[in-house]
Amino acid sequence: MSRIAYPYPTLFPHVPAEAVWEARIDDRVRLFSDGSGSWDYDSVLSVECRFPWTAPLLFQEAGLQELLPGARLAVVLATGSSEGTGRRFIAADIAVSDLDTAAEETSQHASAIRFSVDSAGLCQRLRATLFIHTSGGEVGGMRILQGSVLYREEATLQLEGELASFPIRTLDFGVSGLGDGLWLVDCSADSPGDPLLSCVTLLLNSERQSFIDQLQNEPVETGTLRWALRSDVMASVLSSLLQNEDLDFDPSSPWPDGSLGAVAAGWLRSMGIEGNTAIRRTSDEIRREPGRFRQRCQAVCAPVEVTT
């Protein structure tokens, strides 16, 4: 990166290297570049970002000392299959001058920042974008506007072994009045164009810990329980879309990537269901023989057979 793309001085030419991004997943520490390994949807996740520089020296070398008092560092996280339809939220927003304090709290000699992340709301990947921006000022007679970006970098943590591309969380079914079952697919959408992340959630009964443990320990591709869950999610979501006339779901429409409509249309194609006639037949089948439709979803989600 260089300052050529910016009409004002930046920190880019003076940053010796990008930060080291690490994820602490329960008791495991993983570099972002290595992926999450065996991802657990109920993990306790925190992220640490260590910089190969200290703020006072970096701003001094860049000749931007005047901007340091008003400079801030923000980390924006994004999760999902695409930037347009996934979730985005601010994980950290601190004064750059406070980085030394953050480094002391993480027992690091260089600047560092650490924050926690809600694992239940993640899917597919976690992309972190770090910004250092200024509240404005003047450097060498040049006016620097408020919000000007002095530095930016990105890092992505791939979530391997995720059950599916939707949030999963545990819940005490008894306390919530849901009985004593193992899981529940919660599908609530205002439009097929809604992001899948915002309208489909797989709830697991926290009182059935042995089931959750067994699910976590199954192979990603061949696990029978994962097979059952995937097919139930598919059947529940497709049934909800095809039986609710208010949603006006047309699989042939160009739904946004990562949206409920786009994912559902892909599922239907994988079942060989395309065209208005086939969609109407399938909707009738869901109404008359829901068990048969669920069996068709099971066939599509069947685990990979391992041969020796």
**Among 125, 124, 158, 119, which Cα is nearest to 40's?**
119
Q: Is residue 226 part of a domain?
A: yes
What was the pLDDT predicted at 246?
Answer: 85
Q: State both tokens at 23.
A: 């994820």
Residue whose pair of structure tokens reads 């060989």 in the numeric block? 272
d(CA 281, CA 177): 35
Calpha distance 173→71 (Å, rounded): 47
User: Which helix (DSSP H) or strand (DSSP E) does residue 105 occupy?
Assistant: helix 99-105
Q: Quote the pLDDT of residue 165.
A: 53
CA–CA gap between residue 107 and residue 136 (Å, rounded): 31
φ/ψ of residue 58, rounded to 5? -65, -45
> Is 222:303 a contact under the CB 8 Å cutoff?
yes
CATH of the domain at 118: 2.60.40
Instruction: Please name the residues in contact with 219: beta carbons below 8 A apart, sequence gap of 6 or more.
Output: none
Asked, for residue 198, whether it belongs to a domain, the answer is: yes
Q: What whole-number distance in Å separates Cα of residue 308 and Cα of residue 44?
A: 37
In a domain, 163, yes or no: no
Provide the number of structural domains found in the chain. Answer: 2
Judgement on whether residues 129 and 206 belong to the same structural domain of the protein? no
Helix or strand or coil: residue 267?
helix
pTM: 0.57
What pLDDT score was predicted for residue 262? 85
Q: Are residues 123 and 200 in the same domain?
A: no
* Residue that is last in its domain, among 158, 182, 199: 158
| Residue range of the domain that includes 180 | 168-301
Same domain, 121 and 187: no
Output the pLDDT for position 73.
96
Each residue's pLDDT, cut to its tens digit, for the chain (308 residues) gives 333 457 788 999 999 999 999 999 888 898 988 778 666 666 789 999 999 999 999 999 999 999 999 999 999 998 875 555 467 889 999 999 888 654 444 444 568 899 999 887 777 788 999 999 999 998 888 899 999 999 999 999 887 544 445 667 788 898 888 888 999 998 888 888 887 777 888 888 989 989 888 887 777 666 788 888 888 999 999 999 999 888 888 888 888 877 888 888 888 988 888 888 888 899 999 999 999 999 989 888 776 554 44
Q: What angle do CA 21, 23, 28 make, to 5 degrees?
A: 135
Answer whether 247's CB lies under 8 Å from 189's CB. yes
Verify that 122 and 181 share a domain, yes or no.
no
**In the listed set 137, 158, 179, which residue is the last one of a domain according to the structure?**
158
Same domain, 143 and 11: yes
Residues 174 and 279 occupy one common structural domain = yes
The pLDDT tens digits for 34-83 are 778 666 666 789 999 999 999 999 999 999 999 999 999 999 998 875 55
- DSSP E strand stretches across the chain: 20-25, 28-31, 45-50, 72-79, 87-95, 112-117, 125-133, 137-139, 142-144, 149-158, 168-171, 183-187, 200-205
